[in-house]
Amino acid sequence: MTSKAVDLLEQWLGHRLKDDHSSWLQSQLKKVLTSNSDRELHITLGLIPRKLGREDLNLTHSELTEANNAISGWNPGDWSIDCAARIAVLCRLSEHDKEGFGDTITDLCRNADLAESIALYSGVALFPDSEQLDQQVAEGLRTNMRAVFEAIAHNNPYPANHFDENRWNHMVLKALFIDSTLAPIYGIDQRSNKELAIILCDYAHERRAAGRPVTAELWRCVGPHATNAMIDDLQLTAGSTIATEHQAGVLALSQCKDPLVQQRAHELTASYPETMAEIVNGTITWDVIYQRQQHQSGN
Amino acid sequence: MMFIDPHAHMISRTTDDYEAMAAAGVVAVIEPSFWVGQPRTHVGTYIDYLSAIIGFERFRAGQFGIRHYCTVGLNSKEANNAELAEAVMEILPRFALKEGVVAIGEIGYDEQTELEDKYFRLQLELAKELDLPVMIHTPHRDKKRGTSRSMDVCEEHGMDPSKIIVDHNNEETVREVLDRGYWAAFSIYPSTKMGNSRMVDILTEYGAERIMVDSACDWGISEPLGVAKTARLALERGIPEEQVRLVCYQNALSAYGQSGQMSEDHWLNPAAIDQRTVYEGNSILRGGREPLVEDAAVKRNANNLIIE
């Protein structure tokens, strides 16, 4: 599966790079694979942006579909040329040296500049699984640099496929904590769970106690696991005068699953017939709420 | 007016300083690796330090709309710890090709010992091999002879003076540095290095060619607005605007831009990937947060009681 992914990467790069840049990359890759030390690897990764530039990869719609077909959830829509080239080299190295690759990743992450960190973590779903890789991704989540965190959390299938519940929950909570977003997290609905709903409601209470806004996206992970006490939070949110919050509150209420609270949730949603109609016909979804919030914040 | 501070140890400074610098017009800083005040005794701490200035500090600066570059090197004080020095020399090549590394530096002499001399020379060779500019720290003590000796050694190693920035100059060293074809940098640092009034006198006497001004702000009592304040003082005293632009902006860009890692486009027309990740620009930050550049004077006033 990953070999299909690296084939795609090389194909996309091939279409975008000038011929002499493509052949430079090929010859560097050969050096990396035949060298006895890691020197060539460090030099190649360092030279890639200098030689190939840092423009966006700008994948077409059909290329993005190919990506998702190769690895479900892989969405390199934001990747740059140098990021793609670095990951392609590392993928080929991992095929060549599966055993040592975990240690290589640890070493590279320890010495990485910002763009390298982003590339390394964006590519983790394409690398062979290892204990070291798993540890390194956990380390990456501890960053204070939002772009590095988002390289792991956003448009990347690794967390959904590898994280245990605790790590997953803390990634979601941290995304909110650092003003990041939830919609680009692959598997955000599938991996939601009761424990996460409790954590997020507590977090919402803290924010409200401090007089700080609560992002509408938070309720996405609460609705399906809402308890009676959580319905109080959703009721409050549905009553908000801010459109996205109101919509999020009603949408979350409409997604309650627990038979013990469904009746109450249903009564509450019934008091917002217009919003419910939009939810039923699909004009209000979590992705729409996310996009409206992004739009409001000028992104 | 846009300014570059080509010598600022931002790792030792607060967010107030970033705010004040951004508000004063500083668009880019260069952070030379240096002696952090407490000697490092393990190569591991050196690695983490270098990683911090190529990583987190760059990110931190970007939040204030300031582009951050750095230089990597083994400083002269720590060159005297031979075991550490050997280990640092091993790992330096790894860091020298990182994004935003514009020179090998700051390197040179402190007490002018044999070990300092040995590692100064080895690092000049590394800069030559990697085709990187060099930032030279001239010694605080025995400065005049230390400065001449630094240039002698550069020439022994066949270095091109146009790729070497000799820093911490004063009235006693500047003529020789310029005559020998090097860039002459001045650190506007209260009490120990240059004052900006003296700096204006130097500009009056020597003009602006190959001269640049920096703050060298660090963990000591220093002035992150050194470049901006010098520019204003120079303009007030009648130095032509074009000359001020050269010494407070363009010369640093021309000298360190030779690395291929620093260009005006980075702040005037940043790459899309940077705008998404490390450089927020001077406008309102992403994610709906308030712009971080506030009036530092207002915020630091102890009578302004509310913290939100």
B101 in helix, strand or coil?
A: strand
Each domain of chain B, given as residue ranges in start order, spans: 3-282
Chain B residues with CB under 8 Å of A47 CB are 97
pLDDT of residue A297: 77
- Within A71-130, where are the H helices? 81-96, 98-110, 114-122
- Which of chain B's residues have a Cβ under 8 Å away from the Cβ of A110? 47, 51
> What's the pLDDT at B287?
36
Q: Is the pLDDT of residue A1 over 80?
A: no
pLDDT score recorded for residue B294: 53
| pLDDT tens figures, A267-297 | 999 999 999 999 999 999 999 999 999 988 7
Distance CA B74, CA A29 (A): 31
CA distance B204 to chain A (A): 40
- Residue A155 with chain B: CB contacts under 8 Å: none
**Domain locations in chain A as residue ranges:** 1-162, 164-299
> Is pLDDT above 80 for A298?
no
Nearest Cα of chain A lies from the Cα of B272 at a distance, in angstroms, of 7
Per-residue model confidence as pLDDT tens digits over A54-101 = 999 999 999 999 999 999 999 999 999 999 999 999 999 999 999 999
Which residues of B are less than 8 Å from A80 in CB distance?
271-273
Q: Given B98, B272, B284, which is nearest A113 (Cβ)?
A: B98
- Residue B186: enclosing H or E segment and its boundaries? strand B183-187
Interface A-B: count of C-beta contacts within 8 A: 74
Among A110, A113, A120, A154, the strongest candidate for a mutation testing the B interface, having the largest count of B CBs within 10 A, is A113
Helix axes B82-96, B43-54, angle to 10 degrees: 30
CATH of domain B3-282: 3.20.20.140
Are A114 and B278 an interchain contact pair (Cβ–Cβ within 8 Å)? yes
Indicate yes or no: CB of A114 within 8 angstroms of CB of B289. Answer: no
| Contact at CB, A114 and B287, closer than 8 angstroms | no
B27, B4 in Cβ contact below 8 A?
A: yes
How does pLDDT run across B52-65, given as a tens digit for each residue?
999 999 999 999 99
Cα Rg of chain B (Å, integer): 19
ipTM: 0.86
Contact flag A55-B56 (C-beta cutoff 8 Å): no
Residue A151: closest CA among chain B residues belongs to which residue?
B277
Please list the rounded mean pLDDT of every run of 10 residues in chain B (308 residues).
Answer: 97 95 96 94 96 94 95 97 97 93 97 98 96 97 97 98 98 98 97 93 97 97 97 97 98 98 94 83 41 59 81
Nearest to B153 by CA among B191, B190, B130, B127: B127
Chain B residue numbers with beta carbons less than 8 Å from the beta carbon of A217 are none
Whole-number Å distance between alpha carbons of B10 and B33:
10
